[in-house]
Homo-oligomer: A and B are copies of this chain.
Amino acid sequence: MSKKLSIKLPGLEMKNPIMPASGCFGFGREFSKLYDLSSLGAIGIKATTEESRFGNPTPRVAETPGGMLNAIGLQNPGLEKVVSEELPFLESYDVPILANIAGTKTEDYVNVAEKVAKAPNVTALELNISCPNVKEGGISFGTDPEVAAALTKAVKEVSEVPVYVKLSPNVADIVTIAQAVEQAGADGLSMINTLLGMRIDLKTQQPILANRAGGLSGPAIKPVAVRMIYEVSQRVSIPIIGMGGITTADDVIEFFLAGASAVAVGTANFVNPFICPELIDELEERLSTMKVDNINELVGRSWSSCYNQS
């Protein structure tokens, strides 16, 4: 692997800019049977909460045109088990972990953040302030700039590693929220989480998901993600991990041009579990064809360069 793909972000020294997105890769165990996890740029692990959570009743997934809805409801084994079992398992791989953390109150986040950040292979945190699938909060942290900033500040105070804040796309003005968390000390942003959506089953005449609404992910939301990253990257000076519908190396490049400095791949792992290593290979080739020495050069080119517009 050449140096074309290597990038360095706060807390994340990555061999390449590709990481699986939180919630779409569990804690890596299943995928570790398919390929060497050390080939990944980083790993975004499933949201960890203080207590273990069963999550929502099933059905938890439904399909939509070019996308899918999920309402998993942050199922996870809880802080203790994540720290004692899941993270140590991942230590056998040479790959930085971006630990996604969630909660319903500020104290939850702070407590989980403090403990998870101490794990040797967790080199950055991802604050999930945008999960649409838990009733008791979650998303409200992501729609109010002041609340989001206060939470960021509280977590920054206890975290030993850099903190990325994962933004919700279900807002009118994402720039204001991004700037608020930047000011509160966030080291980077992850965007976007899922859009809120619903599908109704014509036979039962009820929403397919037991939780009724769910988070929309996959190719369908890609244009929304690209637009938001384009807007935000011009107005903040912290790096953005871009995600939302990525399925091809061209998509990765599109996110970089929009202003992302790394990308996460979510839903596409379900369609093709080998997608991440495949994208890494294809990206390397694409950059050679494009005569780009390091993918870094592409960050924000859609707004920073003076290329002629056709």
C-alpha gap A230/B199 in the complex (Å) = 10
Q: Which of B64, B171, B198, B298 is within 8 Å of A258, CB to CB?
A: B198
Whether A224 and B196, one on each chain, are in contact in the complex, defined by CB atoms closer than 8 angstroms, is yes
Nearest opposing residue in chain B for A201, CB measure: B310
Which of A36-44, A45-53, A249-257 contacts the other chain? A249-257
| Cβ of A207 under 8 Å from chain B | yes
A156 CB–B CB distance under 8 Å: no
Measured between beta carbons, the chain B residues less than 8 angstroms from A288 are none
Residue ID in chain B nearest A216 by CB atoms: B223
- The answer to whether B200 touches A226 (Cβ under 8 A) is yes
Give A268-310 interface residues, CB cut-off 8 Å to B. Answer: 298, 301-302, 305, 307-310
**Contact A254:B199 (CB < 8 A) given known A65-B220, A172-B172:** yes
Shortest CB-to-CB span from A298 to chain B, Å, is 8
Min CB distance A221 to B, Å, is 8
Contact partners of A212 in chain B: CB under 8 A:
230
A307 touches B65 (CB 8 A): no
13 contacts between A and B (CB under 8 A): A64-B220, A65-B222, A66-B67, A67-B220, A69-B223, A170-B172, A197-B224, A197-B227, A199-B226, A200-B226, A205-B257, A206-B310, A216-B224
Identify 7 new A-B residue pairs, CB closer than 8 A, beyond the known A202-B257, A210-B309.
A64-B220, A65-B67, A65-B219, A66-B66, A196-B224, A198-B227, A206-B310
